Amino acid sequence: MIHIQQIRKSYRMGALSLEVLKGIDLTINEGELVSIMGPSGSGKSTLLNILGILDQYQEGEYHLAGTLMKNLSERKAAYYRNHYLGFVFQSFHLLEFKNALENVALPLYYQKVSRRRRNRQAMELLERVGLADRAQHMPNELSGGQKQRVAIARALISDPKVILADEPTGALDSQTSDQVMDLFREVNASGKTVVIVTHEAEIAAKTARTIHLRDGVVQNETHQVGAAS
Amino acid sequence: MIWNTDHWLEIWQTVRKNKLRTVLTMFSIAWGIFMLILLLAAGRGLENGIRYQFRDDAANSIWITPRITGRPFRGLRAGRPVNMTMDDYTQVAAVPGVEHITARYNLRGNFTVRYGDQFSQFPIRSVHPGHRYLEKTEMRRGRFINDRDIDQRRKVAVIGNRVVSGLFKDQDPIGEWIDINGIQYKIVGVFTDVGGPGEQRMIYIPISTGQAAYGGGRTIHRLMFTVGNADLAESQRIEKDVRTLLAERHRYDPQDPRAIRLFNHVENYQRFVALFNGIATFIWVVGIGTIIAGIVGVSNIMLIAVKERTKEIGLRKAIGAPPSDIIGLFLMESLTLTFLAGYIGLMAGIGTIELVQHLLNTIPNPPDFFRNPHVDIHAAAGATLVLVLAGVLAGLIPARRAAAIDPIVALRDE
């Protein structure tokens, strides 16, 4: 599903050039539940941005579902993000002036899906994450765990090929974190590829495979026996 | 895009989120348009007032009155009277560019005019048929003086509607005979004149009749003619030709300012037209200046909105909003705000003008210099165009700023 070959990425800082990714090779197959770990400065956020087609890279190749993602126009990038990817963020990023249902339905708005159909699908997903009774609530009326479940529903609504989660439990207590991780595992069990960036070992332990980054290269991989998929 | 209810819903949601900001923004635009409309109407009112002052006489006319020479010329002494005659009329009429022409033989003072046992005092003018175009005489019934009246020195009269009401009450005056100083005149026409009561009390008789009846011979006291659609330069060319002709005929220095008095209405009128244009330009400049202040206000507030909504825009882009959609969102918002606000300002302006007009109509002595202020369709269309442009302009920079937001930066957790 995700195939990365010798990806290099550096930022120019005045006269200096800071290389963040120094040749990463990575393959994630369809239906995998993978975590990416690493200390800050290891390049995991940059890698996630590249995976999410939010950032460009200078060298190497990134194939997402068999399509090369390189030097895309903003419009193309937006199209692939919308159709191929679902994002989950640490601080949820729900729109404060839209209720839960509208937040979940938003990605379909950019696919020109009619509002009736959008809202029906959004309602189905809210049921799936156990928040059907909160559909009309505004984000500030929801708890952190509920917000993140709304965000996961939003990530799922466009039926993406990959779910990318950036520290999805970073703002949650351990009990809610567990619930959210259970939800990710359930999503993964239904056949979706899920990639979670985290710095918490406990979270990584709940994924089947962990990729450890250090100084812009893949240091090693671990596989958890008994974890999902 | 315009008919997409989702877009409107998005705009409605963001507008509702910031009620005060929205209201203040809209106020600045509404005020700009309100002022523009008011200024335009005031300008129109002034223009109408000045036009009203000119309403009596043809604006495209030249009037000549003979006087006394002020300079010696070719051995002739100064101080000779210039005596104009019917020959001057004939010759000036032949000057290219002269359209309708008339001479006047003045009959001084008021005359006692009698019809049956009714009598009253009225002024009399003896003129040529062309006179009706010079004074904007408007025929109500019958006809004006014609060439045959002149040729045959007929004793006919064309009377103003106030003469009718003074002597005839409800009777039809056409074909009736009136007595002026012992001479019987047949009434052939009734007219009215926008020039006011004085003009409407006038009695016109053929110039030849007037000259014969009052010992005028071939003398005339004034020459008046129109110049058609001639522009200022053309009218000055005609003026010069006539001046040369008259100076030649009456043997005075063409540069002598005292020999004749010539009044070129075109010149005067053009000066006022230029003044109106100046006023109109000034009004648009001030009005558009006010609106620009509104645009800058909207733009500024929208820029703040973009900054406030950085995270939202970043998220929208992350989940797949193309740049065009982001630009559209902000442009539509700014357009909607300016247009709605502008419309309110437009309506408020028109309402105020209607009120002023109503007041002007009710007060007993409305000022002459300010009449009938109103906003015509052109001004309203112009203001609308300015509004749409304002909306696009105000939204453009913020929208581009929004589209340039990098989702990575926008969504970074602090």
Answer yes or no: are the C-beta atoms of A74 and B322 closer than 8 Å. Answer: yes
* DSSP sequence for B117-134: TEEEEEEEEEE-TTHHHH
Per the model's pLDDT, the better-predicted residue between B193 and A151 turns out to be: A151
Q: How far does the CA of residue A224 sit from the closest CA of chain B (Å)? A: 29
Rounded distance between C-alpha atoms, residue B262 and residue B268, angstroms? 12
Residue A226 has a pLDDT of 61
Q: pLDDT at position A206, please?
A: 92
Of A66-75, A78-87, B59-68, B327-336, the range with the lowest mean pLDDT is B327-336
Chain A residue closest to B414 (CA)?
A91
Which position has the token pair 């100064």?
A: B78
CA distance B44 to B37: 10
pLDDT tens digits, A90-122: 999 999 889 999 999 999 999 989 889 999 999
Kindly give the parts of chain B with pLDDT less than 50.
Answer: none
- pLDDT score, position A178: 93
- Give the residue extent of every domain in chain B: 5-54+270-411, 106-206
Strand B61-66 relative to strand B222-226, pairing: antiparallel
Element (H, E) at B410: helix B407-411
A185 domain residue, yes or no: yes
Closest residue on chain B to A163 (Cα):
B319
Which is it for strands B61-66 and A67-68: parallel, antiparallel or unpaired? unpaired
The conformation of residue A131, written as its DSSP 8-state character, comes to -
Q: How far apart are CA B156 and CA B206, in angstroms?
A: 7
Rounded Cα–Cα distance for residues A165 and A175 (Å): 18
Q: Report if residue A117 sits inside a domain.
A: yes
Choose from B21, B319, B325, B409 for mutation: most chain A CBs within 10 A: B319
Size of interface A-B (CB pairs under 8 A): 64
Say whether pLDDT at A213 is over 80: yes
Cβ atoms within 10 A of the Cβ of A17, count? 9
* Token couple for B306: 């973009």
- Both tokens of B5, joined, read 């209810």
Encoded tokens for A56: 């460009």
- A40 in a structural domain: yes
pLDDT for residue B275:
83
**Angstroms from A226 CA to nearest CA on chain B:** 33
Q: What CATH number is given to the structural domain containing A137?
A: 3.40.50.300
Q: Which long-range contacts (CB under 8 A, 24 or more apart) does B350-355 make?
A: B350/B37, B350/B375, B350/B380, B352/B34, B352/B38, B353/B37, B353/B38, B353/B41
Distance of CA B336 to CAs B9, B299, B340, B401, Å?
A: 12, 13, 6, 19
Q: Which of A225, A222, A191 is nearest to A35 (CA)?
A: A222
Shortest Cα–Cα distance, B406 to chain A (Å): 8
Selected residues 110-139 of chain A with any CB under 8 Å from a CB in chain B: 110-111, 115
Which residues have a Cβ under 8 Å from the Cβ of A120 and sit 6 or more positions away?
none
Which token pair is A48?
Answer: 């996630």
pLDDT band at A229, cuts 50/70/90? Answer: very low
3 state SS of B187: strand
Decide: helix, strand or coil at residue B366: coil
Instruction: Sort out which chain B residues have CB atoms less than 8 A from A103's CB and list them.
Output: none
How remote is the C-alpha of B254 from its chain's centroid?
A: 35
Asked if B91 contacts B98 with a C-beta cutoff of 8 angstroms, the reply is no
Q: Which residues of B touch A (CB under 8 A)?
A: 5-6, 13-14, 16-17, 311-312, 314-325, 407-408, 411, 413
Query: Domain residues for A44?
Result: 2-223
Task: Assess if residue A228 is contained within a domain.
Answer: no
Residues of B in contact with A78 (CB under 8 A): 317, 320-323
Number of domains in chain A: 1
What are the structure tokens assigned to B205, written together?
């008789």
Q: What pLDDT does residue B2 have?
A: 53
Beta carbons of A54 and B14 less than 8 Å apart: no
pLDDT in tens, B306-356: 888 889 899 999 999 999 888 988 888 888 888 888 888 888 988 998 888
In terms of Cβ atoms closer than 10 Å to its own Cβ (0-12, 13-18, 19+), residue B59 is: middle
Tokens of A74: 């903003």
> In this predicted structure, what is the pLDDT of residue A227?
53
**Distance between CA atoms of residues A23 and B226, nearest Å:** 93
Q: Mean pLDDT across chain A, nearest whole number? A: 92
Does a structural domain hold residue A229? Answer: no
The answer to whether the CB atoms of A78 and B317 lie below 8 A apart is: yes
- Report if residue A14 sits inside a domain: yes
pLDDT at B304: 84
* Residue A64 resides in a domain: yes
Place of tokens 């409309």: B37
Q: What is the DSSP string of B43-63?
A: HHHHHHHHHHHTSSS-TTEEE
* pLDDT score at B328: 87
Residue among A97, A116, A117 with most chain B CBs within 10 A, to mutate = A97
How many angstroms separate the CA atoms of A72 and A56, rounded? Answer: 9
The single residue listed with the structure tokens 């004149």 is B193
Do B318 and A52 count as a contact with CB atoms less than 8 A apart? yes
Summarised one tens digit per residue, pLDDT across range B246-304 is: 998 998 988 888 899 999 988 888 887 788 888 888 888 887 887 788 788 778 888 88
Query: Residue A153 falls within a domain, yes or no?
Result: yes
Q: Which two tokens stand for residue A117?
A: 């159909």
A95 touches chain B (CB under 8 A): yes
A15, burial (CB in 10 Å: exposed 0-12, middle 13-18, buried 19+): exposed
The HSE-up count of residue B365 (CA atoms within 13 Å, CB side) is 0
The per-residue pLDDT for range A27-47, each reduced to its tens digit, is 999 999 999 999 888 889 899
